[in-house]
């Protein structure tokens, strides 16, 4: 019981310390909200080519997206996951999302960009901005991410955003949109000064 109280306190502290908007030259990372459902669904949530390397099932209808956004809102409130839409600033268009999971100061980063916008450096720009923001927060002791070993594009994004490769992990986890078969993964982390 004591332990549960301590965790709750830490999570609450975390929640108050995350920005809801982060700006880069071309992009705004903005906290996802329930009224983003249609943009999320049509931009990336429903696209099978996007889902291949993701850990959540491709959305079959707007209800899936609305349920997802409800989960997103609750998780933000609990301080365990913070999900941002990635928008092009010049015309406020949603092109993807970036999420960070918080396990009491150990952060896991993930992202997705609409196929229509691949190859223009957007994921790298968003991920770099997030890493630079997170690395200055003293309560964070680790920033990590993993990719399917065949997801070369995502591995490139991580390396360009300040991550280093940490480990090759055979049969590390199942991917729901690839028949739920366990797949090899690569683990990355951001070296944090003073925190090894
Ligand atoms: C991974 C993803 C986010 C990259 O988005 P993006 O905006 O196109 O990324 P960037 O333009 O910033 O950089 C992509 C890099 O991957 C490289 N790349 C893209 N496709 C590639 C491929 N098939 N093989 C090798 N490299 C590839 C690009 O050349 C670029 O690297 P470079 O600058 O060294 O040339 C996007 O492909 C995506 O949403 N994929 C589906 C979801 C996903 O896999 N998310 C990550 C889960 S861990």
In tens, the pLDDT along 54-90 reads 999 999 999 999 999 999 999 999 999 999 999 999 9
Total-model pTM: 0.92
Residue whose Cα lies nearest atom 41 of ligand 1: it is: 50
Position 17 scores a pLDDT of 73
CA of 124 to the centre of ligand 1 (A): 8
CA dist 95 and 27 (Å) reads 10
Q: For 149-158, write each residue's pLDDT tens digit.
A: 999 999 999 9
* Ligand 1 binding pocket includes 173 (Cβ within 6 Å): no
Mean pLDDT score of the chain, rounded to an integer?
91
Per DSSP, the three-state class of 65 is helix
CA dist 144 and 141 (Å) reads 10
Position 194 scores a pLDDT of 75
* Ligand 1 binding pocket includes 154 (Cβ within 6 Å): yes
pLDDT at 11 over 70: no
Position 5 scores a pLDDT of 33
Q: What DSSP string runs through 87-100? A: EETTTTEEEEEEEE
Position 196 scores a pLDDT of 58
Q: What is the CATH number of domain 2-141?
A: 3.40.630.30
* Ligand 1 binding pocket includes 48 (Cβ within 6 Å): no
Q: For 81-119, write each residue's pLDDT tens digit.
A: 999 999 999 999 999 999 999 999 999 999 999 999 999
Task: Find out whether 19 and 29 touch, Cβ atoms under 8 Å.
Answer: no
């Amino acid at each position: 019981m004591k332990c549960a109280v301590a965790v709750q306190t830490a999570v609450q502290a975390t929640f108050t310390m995350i920005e809801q908007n982060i700006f880069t030259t071309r992009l705004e990372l903005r906290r996802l909200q329930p009224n983003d459902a249609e943009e999320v669904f049509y931009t990336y949530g429903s696209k099978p080519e996007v889902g291949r390397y993701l850990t959540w099932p491709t959305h079959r209808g707007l209800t899936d997206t609305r349920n997802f956004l409800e989960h997103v809102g609750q998780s933000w409130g609990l301080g365990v996951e913070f999900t941002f839409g990635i928008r092009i600033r010049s015309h406020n268009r949603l092109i993807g999302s970036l999420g960070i999971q918080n396990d009491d100061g150990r952060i896991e980063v993930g992202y997705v960009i609409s196929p229509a916008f691949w190859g223009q450096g957007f994921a790298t720009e968003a991920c770099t901005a997030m890493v630079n923001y997170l690395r200055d927060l003293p309560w964070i002791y680790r920033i990590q991410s993993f990719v399917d070993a065949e997801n070369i594009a995502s591995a490139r994004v991580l390396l360009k955003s300040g991550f280093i490769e940490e480990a090759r992990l055979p049969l590390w986890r199942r991917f729901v949109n690839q028949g739920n078969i366990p797949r090899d993964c690569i683990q990355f982390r951001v070296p944090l000064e003073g925190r090894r």
